[in-house]
């Protein structure tokens, strides 16, 4: 495309009918070209435009009016395709400008979004005065306070960088704190992958997954200890059934206690479970 564009006769059906099968271009302006791809059963319009630094983008517009008259929606005449091409490039460039005006997507941004989401969820469950959990203090202490890590752009984050962060925890730090901090950061990064999926690399979630499984395993394969014995757990479940009967709760408490015993989930997690989840 660095060579001079060879203009093709594309403006009428008769002109296009004389072309051999293949792809042809016609200039709209120095950076935008309207294309026509001729196949055995007709042609299709497309547009390409220059974004800078040797990068071009391309978009399919629709079917050419080689057989049916153009309606500007499904089938396009040359003039209709030209109008659609200009409109699409203008919208794409406006979107690129809007994205470039946004704050850079960094680890810090992902963590701050995650904390805000968790706090909004807690307010819905407990009200504005509800107790805050310690995820904010953990993430602030071990992520946000480390600018060499938190300033990393998400688009350039690597498994090695995540592994280095994990290995930097003090050896004296409680294993549970390391595990919970890693879980919170992983959730924050996966949340950013969903929110900003249009601007992040497609393999970003793979990097997050590999980054938290690379090197030593921070999560123990079994629980360090079990507070209640199996017999005590059964007695708690049985007691919850008696309370259900006395209070006429129709088994709601017993089912909740059974879920807690079977899954090890936190109470705040269990109350959000829907029937489809189990």
Q: In the β-sheet with 32-39, what is the strand arrangement from edge to edge?
A: 22-29, 32-39, 42-52, 55-64, 75-76
The DSSP call for residue 222 is S
Supply the range of the domain harboring residue 240: 230-277
The predicted structure's pLDDT at residue 131: 56
DSSP designation for 275:
G
Four-CA torsion 187, 188, 194, 198, nearest 10 degrees:
-150
End-to-end CA distance of the chain: 56
Beta-carbon count within 10 A of 66 CB:
17
> Is residue 189 scored above 90 in pLDDT?
yes
Report yes or no on 8 lying in a domain: no
| Nearest 10 degrees: Cα torsion 210, 212, 217, 220 | -130
Where residue 129 falls among pLDDT bands split at 50, 70, 90? low
CA 241 to chain centre: 42
Q: Are residues 54 and 150 in the same domain?
A: no
| Per-residue CA distances from 56 to 38, 51, 59, 91, 122 (Å) | 21, 6, 10, 15, 46
Q: How many domains does the chain have?
A: 3
pLDDT of 8 above 50: yes
> What does the pLDDT average to over 107-118?
92
Cβ atoms 205, 193 nearer than 8 A: yes
Same domain? 116 vs 196: yes
Whole-angstrom distance, CA of residue 135 vs CA of residue 28: 54
Instruction: Examine the domain organization and report whether 119 and 80 are in the same domain.
Output: no
Residue that finishes a domain, picked among 211, 239, 267: 211
Is residue 49 domain-shared with residue 139, that is, in the same domain? no
C-alpha distances (whole Å) from 106 to each of 102, 103, 155, 167, 211 are 12, 9, 8, 20, 16
The pair of three-digit structure tokens given for residue 83, joined into one six-digit string: 């109008």
Mean pLDDT over 273-278 rounds to 71
Across 12-26, 102-116, 224-238, least confident range: 224-238
Same domain? For 45 and 126 the reply is: no
Q: How confident is the model at residue 60 (pLDDT cuts 50, 70, 90)?
A: very high
Confidence of residue 132 (pLDDT cuts 50, 70, 90): low
Q: What's phi and psi for 54, nearest 5 deg?
A: 75, 10
Q: Looking at the structure, do residues 152 and 206 belong to the same domain, yes or no?
A: yes
Question: Distance between CA 278 and CA 3 in Å, rounded?
Answer: 61
Residue 241 and residue 199 share a domain: no
Identify the pLDDT of residue 187. 93
One domain, residues 251 and 199? no
Predicted pLDDT of residue 234 = 85
Q: For the segment 79-101, what is each residue's pLDDT rounded down to a tens digit?
A: 999 999 999 888 888 766 655 65
């Amino acid at each position: 495309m660095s060579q001079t564009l060879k203009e093709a006769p594309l403006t009428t059906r008769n002109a296009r009918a004389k072309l051999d099968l293949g792809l042809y271009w016609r200039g709209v302006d120095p950076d935008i070209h309207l294309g026509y791809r001729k196949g055995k059963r007709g042609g299709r319009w497309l547009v390409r435009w220059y974004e800078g630094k040797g990068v071009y983008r391309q978009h399919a517009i629709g079917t050419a009016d080689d057989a049916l008259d153009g309606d500007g929606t499904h089938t396009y005449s040359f003039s209709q395709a030209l109008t659609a091409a200009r409109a699409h490039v203008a919208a794409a460039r406006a979107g690129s400008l809007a994205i470039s005006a946004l704050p850079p997507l960094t680890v810090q941004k992902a963590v701050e979004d995650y904390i805000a989401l968790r706090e909004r969820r807690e307010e819905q469950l407990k009200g504005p005065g509800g107790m805050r959990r310690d995820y904010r203090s953990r993430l602030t202490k071990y992520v946000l306070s480390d600018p060499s890590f938190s300033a990393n752009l998400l688009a350039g984050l690597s498994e090695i960088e995540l592994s280095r962060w994990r290995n930097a925890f003090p050896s004296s730090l409680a294993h549970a704190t390391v595990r919970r901090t890693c879980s919170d950061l992983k959730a924050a990064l996966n949340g950013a992958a969903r929110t900003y999926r249009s601007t992040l690399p497609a393999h970003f979630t793979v990097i997050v997954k590999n980054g938290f499984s690379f090197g030593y395993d921070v999560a123990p394969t079994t629980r360090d200890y079990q507070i209640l014995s199996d017999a005590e757990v059964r007695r708690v479940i049985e007691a919850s059934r008696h309370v259900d009967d006395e209070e006429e709760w129709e088994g709601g408490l017993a089912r909740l206690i059974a879920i807690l015993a079977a899954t090890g989930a936190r109470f705040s997690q269990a109350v959000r479970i829907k029937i489809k989840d189990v």
